[in-house]
Amino acid sequence: MTAQRRDRAIVDLLAMVAFYHVTHALDHWHCMPIGAPWLPGSACDHLLVSLPYLHGPDLETCALPEGHARILWLLPITAEEKDFRIERGTDALEERFDEAGIDPTDPFRESVA
């Protein structure tokens, strides 16, 4: 997850995602409700597991002596964007993100749905 500022809420959120992952096996394109805004005042209350677009494709695969780790990105999205994704697909949602030129690190960004 990438954010504009350091915030304890992000650490707590990552701990929640790690716990959720144990029972739900999060993977690319999965969506997860977080029950509250990702940061205070944000409309984004879900996370979309996506490719690490902001950091380029080299970040996705991390070589390790025993193999590799796949690094994916937690993209905060709104409930409306989650519904749009279910109705029209992830590609259509990402196209909307591109068209709107969203800043995915902005907790106060407008929904594209």
Give residue 82's domain range. Answer: 8-100
In angstroms, the CA 49 to CA 80 distance is 16
Give tens-digit pLDDT for 14-57: 899 999 999 989 998 999 999 999 888 999 999 999 887 777 77
pLDDT at 59: 76
Residue 49 lies in a domain: yes
In angstroms, the CA 74 to CA 39 distance is 14
User: 1 falls in which pLDDT band (50, 70, 90)?
Assistant: low
In angstroms, the CA 17 to CA 75 distance is 12
Residue 18 lies in a domain: yes
In angstroms, the CA 87 to CA 99 distance is 18
Q: What is the pTM of this model?
A: 0.84
Number of domains in the chain: 1
Residue 106 lies in a domain: no
